[in-house]
Amino acid sequence: MIDTVIYSLIVGIAVGFSAGYLGSIMVLEKMALVGDALSHVALPGLALGVLLGFNPLIGGFVFLFVSAVLIWYLGRVTKLSFETLVGAAFTLALAIGILLYGNRLDALEAALFGDITNVSLTYSVFSVIIAIIIVLLTHFIYRNIVLSLISEELARSKGINTALANLLYLLLVSVTVAVGIQVTGTLLVGFLVVTPAAAARIISGNLSRYLPLSAIFGAVSAISGVLLSTSLNILPGPMIVISGVAIFVAALLYRWRKKIMA
């Protein structure tokens, strides 16, 4: 039991930290709903894993990865925004996923809401390694993406391949979501890339504060959610979301207090 809690906490911290860090870009790009919607694209892949007897997370990741590349390509060709394309893809994926699951309701519930209590030592080590890679790669493309948000021409004039940076970013979101599905499920994993960053944004005056705070809030949401779910014996996903929203509310109150004191 203690082992399970420790593994859950390790996975929670790894996923929460990396998702928060990555999500800070999403909030700047005003693409908060993309992370949420993209997570549903994993559902058919998870279902295929269950049906064909391989690890559902691999199926989920493959679907996310292929969808991300397809969305990136269609965005370049059609000039439609990521938000529009993801919006078009996710409801279809959700429908197909639910059809594929059929009457396997336990598996569908695990896919939708996650099952962090079943994580192994191997999975927790894997999630830490993936989180480190995600944070490092995100750090690597961060400047390029921020510059392209300020002015794409400015970024391109300095030789920055903005299309490649966006593709890498979408792929990182896919990996984060795929790993995070085990923690909160496809329905709630979008939370981890949005709310911690949103909370950090409202109390940060510069990027040096905003980036680490987004990651820390993500990790704290996950830790408190896992501990609460363990002590109350309920699903961890919703508790992680509730913990994160509490941090968001606390950040709002902090900001109001600061304004009143000023």
Nearest approach in angstroms of CB 144 to another protein is: 9
Candidate list 1, 52, 77, 205; residue touching another protein; CB under 8 A: 205
Mask for 7-36, x = binds another protein (CB under 8 A): ---------------------x-x------
122 touches another protein (CB under 8 A):
no
146 binds another protein (CB under 8 A): yes
Q: What is the 3-state secondary structure (H, E, C) of the chain?
A: CHHHHHHHHHHHHHHHHHHHHHHHHHHHCCCHHHHHHHHHCCHHHHHHHHHHCCCHHHHHHHHHHHHHHHHHHHHHHHCCCHHHHHHHHHHHHHHHHHHHHCCCHHHHHHHHHCCHHHCCHHHHHHHHHHHHHHHHHHHHHHHHHHHHHHCHHHHHHCCCCHHHHHHHHHHHHHHHHHHHHHHHCCCCHHHHHHHHHHHHHHCCCCHHHHHHHHHHHHHHHHHHHHHHHHHHCCCHHHHHHHHHHHHHHHHHHHHHHHHHHC
Min. distance of Cβ 228 from another protein in angstroms?
31
Burial label for 101, CB within 10 Å (0-12, 13-18, 19+), is buried
Q: Pick the closer one to another protein by CB: 104 or 201.
A: 201
Considering the rule CB under 8 A, would residue 255 count as an interface residue with another protein?
no
Per CB under 8 A, which of residues 151..190 are in contact with another protein? 151, 153-154, 156-157
| Binding test (CB under 8 A) with another protein, winner from 38, 41, 50, 147 | 147
> How far does CA 77 lie from the centroid of its chain?
26
Give whole-number Cα distances, 237 to 161, 180, 190, in Å. 37, 10, 11
Q: How many CB atoms lie within 10 A of CB 262?
A: 5
Q: Does residue 81 bind another protein (CB under 8 A)?
A: no
Q: Is 216 in the site for another protein (CB under 8 A)?
A: no
* Least separation in angstroms between CB 85 and another protein: 21
Does residue 137 touch another protein according to CB under 8 A?
no
CB of 154 to another protein, least distance (A): 5
214 binds another protein (CB under 8 A): no
Smallest distance from the beta carbon of 210 to another protein, in angstroms? 5
Name the residue nearer to another protein (CB basis): 53 or 159: 159
Closer residue to another protein (CB): 143 or 257: 143
Q: Based on CB atoms, which residue is closest to another protein, 34 or 94?
A: 34
**Interacting residues toward another protein by CB under 8 A:** 28, 30, 143, 146-147, 149-151, 153-154, 156-157, 201, 204-210
